[in-house]
């Protein structure tokens, strides 16, 4: 009886430890990714805010949209770090929200010169609400997750 209980406890501990290790491999270090981006703002831009977006890959394409209001007469810079992802995504900026008429694409990571890049920089030419879209590809792998970090900087000149 004692052997059965000890064996059951050991098997339970092994299962818990294994699942904890799997979960930590899918997590990303938001603080490190954010700090890398903040260093990229200097010296021309000052740090304003950041947004970390975590998601799980699914068996269908996903589009996550984030709105960022920008103040008039200020210059802004968006830095996006995708290093916390196990599989690449596409990053796009638009002038209007999804489903709007005459929506214009302002930036796409697919147009970037370096395809292996994990940090993207976008300097909007207008100061109004900007819509950031993450296009997450479909995958058949289970429990695949990650995060993207976006930092916004401003310049008053």
Alpha-helical segments (H) within 27-149 = 30-41
Smallest CA-to-CA distance from 27 within 87, 86, 81, 80 is with: 86
Q: What radius of gyration, in Å, describes the C-alpha atoms of the chain? A: 20
For residue range 22-75, list pLDDT tens digits in order.
444 446 899 999 999 999 998 999 999 999 999 999 999 999 999 998 888 889
Whole-Å CA distances, 123 to 25, 28, 75, 103, 152: 33, 26, 8, 18, 10
Domains in the chain with CATH codes: 28-155 (2.60.120)
Spatial separation of the C-alpha atoms in residues 102 and 122, rounded to whole Å? 21
Percent of the chain exceeding pLDDT 70 equals 80
pLDDT for position 110:
87
User: Residue 6 above 80 pLDDT?
Assistant: no
For residue range 127-141, list pLDDT tens digits in order.
889 999 999 999 998
pTM here is 0.77
pLDDT for position 20:
45
Mean pLDDT rounded to a whole number for the chain: 84
Beta pairing partners, 68: 130
Structure tokens at 72: 């008039």
């Amino acid at each position: 009886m004692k052997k059965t209980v000890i064996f059951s406890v050991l098997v339970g501990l092994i299962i818990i430890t294994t699942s904890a290790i799997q979960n930590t491999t899918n997590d990303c270090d938001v603080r490190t990714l954010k700090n890398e981006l903040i260093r990229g703002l200097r010296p021309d831009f000052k740090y304003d805010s950041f947004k970390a977006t975590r998601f799980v890959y699914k068996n269908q394409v996903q589009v996550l949209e984030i709105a960022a209001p920008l103040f008039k007469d200020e210059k802004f810079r968006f830095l996006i770090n995708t290093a916390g992802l196990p599989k690449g995504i596409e990053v796009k900026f638009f002038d209007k929200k999804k489903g709007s008429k005459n929506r214009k694409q302002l930036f796409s990571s697919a147009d970037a010169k370096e395809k292996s890049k994990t940090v993207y920089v976008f300097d909007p030419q207008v100061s109004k609400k900007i819509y950031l879209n993450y296009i997450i590809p479909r995958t058949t792998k289970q429990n695949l997750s990650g995060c993207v970090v976006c930092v916004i900087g401003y310049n008053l000149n």
